[in-house]
Structure 1
Amino acid sequence: MEEQPAPDISLLAERYNPLEQRFRPEDSPFTTLFADITHRCNMACRNCYIPVRDLPDLPVDWLYDILARLPHRTRIRLVGAEPTMREDLPEIIAKVREMGHLPVVLSNGLKLGRASYVARLKEAGLGTCYLSLNGGLRDDLYLEIDELACADRKLKALDNLLAARIHVTTGTIIVPGVNDAHLPEFLEFLVAKGVRDIHLRSVGEVGNYMQGKSLRLDALEEIFRASLPASLPQPELIGEYGSSRDFRAGRVSIQLTEWPELGSLERGRITPDGWLEPMFESIVANAGHY
């Protein structure tokens, strides 16, 4: 691959509106940090908290400098838009590992339908992937929510990740009147596949989103409980903080989130001017402009 000059980080920073609650990398209180490594995407979903596509990729040397200054081992969530659009994603994963941090990729899964590509990410050091599955098993639901009939490609990605023994967290936005009735069948499928980490969340009213479809946490829990497959025991609430609730049902962990999840200092975000901010407050304050 021909080497390309790194873009000027100021092109990212000039679109950014800072918050008051900010931390230098050396003072990070966060156990997880989100790094927006690209704004390119191969989908155009109706719910997207950062719909901007005209900003350059994050320069890796700049990112590594931030990571080198962190005071403790941190889960680094490599996100986008779609992080697999970067040809150097395996190298980024390997470098994050080399620096002593834990790389996590959040993906729509389209490129993960190639087993050889998943193997490259695994060999680079990827141990965990958050896979977006908003339409469950059905093309019509993906069309309605993500504007692309891609069920087969998404489910192939899931199979490849599981076969590679990469830990998978599935993420599903619950849209009332669209995919909520499909949830019982989909949860049964995930449990049968051996998925042990499931995240259900509401439509977040940030960036691009489906109007009038956002659920409160209590309503999200009601839908979840009504959708439990017979193969799972009744879930036990094991943690509640901010706008999230964590449940355990046998060997399966389920997290419900009324998105955006505000008030947490567990998850932060690397900003274009080199500071760290609470993840969801940062998204809301910036309103999707970077």
Structure 2
Amino acid sequence: MDSNQSLIKLKDAYQSDGSKLLPEDSPFQTLFADITHRCNMSCKNCYIPIRDLPDLPVDWLYDILTRLPRRARIRLVGAEPTMREDLPDIIREVRKLGHIPVILSNGLKLGRLSYVRTLKAAGLKTVYLSMNGGLKDDLYEEIDELACADRKLKALHNLLREGMNITVGMILIPGLNVDHLVEFIEYLEQRGVRDIHLRSVGPMGNYMKVPPFDLEGLETCLKQALGSRAENLKLMDRSESNLDLQLGRVKYQLTAWPDLGSMERGRITPEGYVEPMFESIIANEFSY
């Protein structure tokens, strides 16, 4: 089944009776697994703000992964995945089952170098690090309700030191952290970060009630931050919700959330099915 047929099947399922797809029929290149609902932060923008659900049973997760039809990037997310003491074991098993483990983290526990090395030894090579406040405590306090710039930067330093593939993510909020983008991008580029993800506030779960940037607005923010260098941006890919650009060795991904209808990102449901990532979050808001 080619990707167009898979997309038609996916959309038909949602438009008819809301049915899910079996893992064997997954068309997704990336699957999110909510391995815990615990967190050590209380950010104002959180698409899964429920905290009283039990951790995902690992044997159940591994069974789902063995049934996927092809190798996939398994994004181990939460809330905060590093809250699980068995995270190294999960990473190791995901790799053993033939998939690519990725963690999406706020980075607070990654400030400990020995912990980063433990995750690396288990088979972790790729980390998405959330840095909504960039280099500034006041921005983190406003967006994530915690002055944690030093801890975030230490995590970034440790990940770079260990040669991890790093995506630095920032939610762009009008009138708040946009002006900081110039300084932050310069900082990241100087330290060799090659993947930067800028996205809008997503109207899911808990979120700041501000008019979010659309894709064109995100592009304008980036180009203003780059100044004259923006003329050298190369278009790599574009969809309704995503814009991928490249400047030299640095890749910029812009996402206007929610990214509905995506063929790339899916989510493993508690019932053992897979479904589109953002459709899943919206349909199950405040339930899991």
CA distance in structure 2 between the partners assigned to 1:288 and 1:234 by the alignment: 43
| Aligned partners of 1:172 and 1:200 also within 8 Å | yes
Unmatched runs of 5 consecutive residues or more in structure 1: 1-18
> What is the match of residue 255 of structure 2?
257
Question: Residue by residue, what CA displacement relative to the aligned partner does 1:71-113 show, whole Å, maximum 9, x if unpaired?
Answer: 1101000000000000000000000000000000000000000
Task: Give the letter aligned to residue 172 of structure 1.
Answer: M
Q: How does 1:138-177 map to 2 (within 5 A)?
A: 138-177=136-175
How far apart are the structure 1 equivalents of 2:199 and 2:218?
Answer: 7
In structure 1, distance between residues paired with 2:99 and 2:147:
35
> Match for residue 99 of structure 2?
101
1:132 equivalent in structure 2: 130
Task: Decide which of 116, 121, 128 is 1:123's aligned counterpart.
Answer: 121
Post-superposition shift, 1:260? 1.1
* Residue type of the alignment partner of 2:28: F
Q: Which letter does structure 1 place at the counterpart of 2:37?
A: H
Q: Residues 174 and 210 of structure 2 are in contact (CA less than 8 Å); yes or no, is this contact kept in structure 1?
A: no
> Which of 32, 35, 38 in structure 2 is aligned with 1:37?
35
Q: Post-superposition shift, 1:189?
A: 0.5
CA distance in 2, matches of 1:229, 1:217: 18
Aligned 8 A contact 2:71 2:99 in 1: yes
What secondary structure, in the 3-state scheme, does the structure 2 residue paired with 1:109 have?
Answer: coil
Report the Cα distance in structure 1 between the residues aligned to 2:73 and 2:135, rounded to whole angstroms. Answer: 30
1:200-239 correspondence to structure 2 within 5 Å:
200-228=198-226, 234-239=232-237
- Cα distance, 1:286 vs. partner? 1.2
Give the counterpart of 1:73 among 68, 71, 74.
Answer: 71
Whole-angstrom distance in 2 between the partners of 1:172 and 1:198: 8
1:22: Cα distance to partner?
2.1
Alignment TM-score, normalising by the size of structure 2: 0.92
Amino acid at match of 2:121: E
Q: Does the 8 Å CA contact 1:233/1:250 hold for their aligned counterparts? A: no
Runs of at least 4 residues of structure 1 off by over 6 A? 229-233
Cα distance, 1:230 vs structure 2: 6.5
- C-alpha separation in 2, matches of 1:155 and 1:21: 43
Percent of residue pairs identical? 65
Query: Alignment length, in residue pairs?
Result: 272
Which runs of 5 or more residues in structure 2 are unaligned? 1-16
Partners of 2:233 and 2:92 lie apart in 1 by 37
CA distance in 2, matches of 1:151, 1:234: 31
**What is the TM-score when the length of structure 1 is the normalising length?**
0.92
Amino acid at match of 1:152: D
Q: 1:288 Cα shift?
A: 3.3
Give the alignment's Cα RMSD to 1 decimal: 1.2
More helix by share: 2
- Superposed CA deviations along residues 38-85 of structure 1, whole A, max 9, x for unmatched, are 000000000000100000000000000000101110100000000000
> 2:286 aligns to what SS in structure 1?
coil
